[in-house]
Chain A
Amino acid sequence: MLEVLSDLAGGFGVALLPANLLMLLAGVLLGLVIGVLPGLGGTSGVAILLPVSVLIAGSGTGGPTTAIIFLAGIYWGALFGGVITSILFNIPGEPWAVALLFDGYPLAKRKGRPGLALGSSFVASFVGALIATILLTFFARALAFEAIKFGPAELFAVFILSFTTLVGLGSEAPLKSVMMIAFGLLLASIGFDSLTGEPRLTFGHIELLSGITFVPVTIGLFGIGEVLASAEEQGIGFIERMNAKVGLRDIREAFGALRRRIKMVVPISVMGFLFGVLPGHGATAGSFLGYGLARQYSKNKAEFGKGEISGIMAPQAAADSAAVGSLVPMIALGIPGSPTSAVMMAGLFIWGLQPGPLLFIDHKDFVWGLIASIYLGHLLTFVICLAAVPLLAMIMRTPYAIITPFIVVISIIGSYSLNNSMLDVFITIGFGLVGYWLRKLKYPLAPLVVALVLGDSTERELRKALIGSGGDPSTFVTSTVGGLPLAATMLFLSVMLVLLPVIRSTRSRRRAVADDPAH
């Protein structure tokens, strides 16, 4: 306990360095703008700016710490920013702000209280994130110190478990999720085999020998793919003007409302955090979960959908706490907790860090600097939001004909500048088209990115485990940590996680066919 606090104090020392504070501010501001712009989301924002973070890591005094603080700042900013357009214009700037449409817009429009609606969401974000960050401060370290004892067999099982939770919890299309994971693993294996040096899947192309790196792919899938997807929905055009000032009175009232709902907001934040810790689910799923829970257990259900403050606070607190929670598996286990943290983790690899439990020992400054910056980042975002809402609402009106090509240009710079390679640019454009098409056909993109990022490590642990046991696969059953067969348990869980949803969805489809009178 004391140790954690002294580590955290050291982290604040790192995060408060001028260079880090400056980059946190830059990240938060960029995140807010990205959040407000409808064509660009937090994940794509982080992906597009990943190469910039590489430059920061290479040039600045803080190195990777400054870079991760910058990237995380974008995430926090986007979390707040996406809400603004939801509440004021009924257009979600981010997927995680969709749940805010139900009650945020009615409160702003019908009840004429945009300030109160925004204030409530900011306050709830802040509290949710604060609770989650406190949990992360204590939880992540404990988890990491357990995880250090893991051997290759356990690590392999952890990776497999993280893939299968993507399938098991991404309830919509389990088969498609498995496909995307396999596709990601396949892409990750292109290039030199790291153990034998044998070229794989290169079809004789020298350029492919170094493999397909995830940066151009993620920039394409998320950045370009999202721009294309939003091009289709540009019928919106008309945006009405609304007075978007958040006054002191609104904030006081929002805090009062929070006090009355504290019994609802705190448990929802804790739930959101735990949900975020599960691999593959970040803020978006968290916010829907929060909204559902709040409605379910509310005394005045009838008020929901008409501008009920609980309907704003619950999803927002859950979204922010889930976003913070999604960083836990990244720093403690080396597994991304959400698509956005998958992209951040890609950054860690490029900056030369190995995400996982050893970070707590080898790169103390990095981990605790990041954790401290989460506290600071949310405080900063909160303050900026209160002051800058009218300005951010104006950004929303940036014309489509300027912002869209600009995003494309930035994406191209991003993918090119990493390796000075035109091939990367073509990969980005190609995967942009693929990503758009996959989106259209409702294939989940998160499993693809997670598998692409983790593919190499998964293969390495599998082969290390098999080499260690002399090629005997029973090592996954017999290997124990502290007397417990952890690897076997996790693998068993993984199998269940894949089988159950596949069976369930097949059944429900059969039933749907049977019930359909046309057939």
Chain B
Amino acid sequence: MVIAAVAMFDTRKGALPDVAGGAPGGLSGGFYPFWSAAVLFTFSALVALRSLTTPQAVLGVFKDRRSVASVLALAVPMVVASALIPYLGFYLMTALYMGFFAAVLGRYRWSWVLAIAILFPLVIYLIFEVGFRVSLPKSIFYDVVRF
């Protein structure tokens, strides 16, 4: 399984230089990326070859199902949350995201979940928007609710 994963990973990376190539000529702009791509290609091929020819003692990349689940439990909401920012804005996203974790992973009481969902965006607002004058993305409801 590891071998397959490593090999797949490498071929995916190895595929990059073909597109990346460019003209390898003298001092043109393509010279440098082409050669870094070429080195990358050569060495990923070597690593792939090696992982295919040498036996590996490791049984699997992951210890067990539970660890896969715990990584996914973190990765999936993260991707979803960042994809929602353009629509919900940063503050609503933070409230939902942190509230979700407190409720699902933490299993806190609802009062706590609500407190977390309100408190964290508020503190972030005070530090960044007021303190550092950084404007974070606002939601599509900005005209109505101002955040």
Interface residues of A (CB under 8 A from B): 52, 55, 59, 175-176, 178-179, 181-183, 185-186, 189-190, 193, 195-196, 198, 200-201, 203, 224, 227-228, 231-235, 399-402, 404-406, 408-409, 412-413, 416-417, 420, 422, 425-426, 429, 432-433, 436-437, 440-441, 455, 459, 462-463, 466-467, 471, 506, 509, 512-513, 516, 518-519
Contacts and interface: CB of A to CB of B under 8 A. Distances in A.
A400 B6 CA distance: 31
A402 B100 CA distance: 10
B114 interface: no
Interface in B9-44: 9, 13, 16, 19-20, 22, 26-30, 32-33, 36-37, 39-40, 43-44
Given A231-B74, A422-B137, A440-B62, 9 more contacts: A182-B43, A185-B32, A189-B32, A409-B124, A413-B136, A416-B137, A425-B82, A432-B78, A463-B32
B101 A413 contact: no
Interface string B57-77: 000011100110011011101
A440 B86 CA distance: 31
A417 B50 contact: no
Nearest to A458: B32
B108 A401 contact: yes
A244 B131 CA distance: 35
Interface in B100-132: 100-102, 105-106, 108, 116, 120, 124, 128, 132
A519 B55 contact: yes
A93 B130 CA distance: 32
A416 B62 CA distance: 32
B80 to A, nearest CB: 10
A509 to B, nearest CB: 6
B142 to A, nearest CB: 15
A52 B5 contact: no
B100 to A, nearest CB: 8
Given A175-B46, A426-B82, A440 B36 contact: no
A467 B27 CA distance: 8
Contact of A404 (B36, B74, B81, B132): B74
B140 interface: no
23 contacts: A52-B132, A175-B46, A181-B39, A186-B16, A186-B40, A189-B36, A190-B33, A201-B20, A228-B75, A400-B106, A401-B105, A402-B116, A405-B97, A405-B98, A416-B90, A416-B136, A422-B137, A429-B78, A440-B62, A463-B32, A513-B55, A518-B55, A519-B55
> Which of B22, B47, B66 lies at the interface centre, i.e. has the most chain A CB atoms within 10 A of its CB?
B47
Given A422-B85, A425-B82, A401 B36 contact: no
A459 B81 CA distance: 37
Nearest to A417: B134
Contact of B134 (A55, A182, A406, A409): A55
Interface residues of B, number: 62
A413 B27 contact: no
Contacts of A404: 74, 101
Given A179-B47, A402-B106, A509-B50, A198 B55 contact: no
B79 interface: yes
Contacts of A471: 26-27
Contacts of A228: 71, 74-75
A83 B105 CA distance: 28
Contacts of B30: 198, 200
A214 B63 CA distance: 32
A118 B135 CA distance: 43
Given A179-B47, A186-B33, A429-B79, A401 B94 contact: no
Contacts of B37: 182, 186
Given A179-B40, A185-B36, A463 B27 contact: yes
Nearest to B108: A401
B106 A193 contact: no
B70 A466 contact: no
A193 B71 CA distance: 38
A200 B29 CA distance: 7
Contacts of A198: 28-30
A441 B61 contact: yes
Contact of A462 (B29, B32, B71, B79): B32
A513 B75 CA distance: 37
Nearest to B17: A186
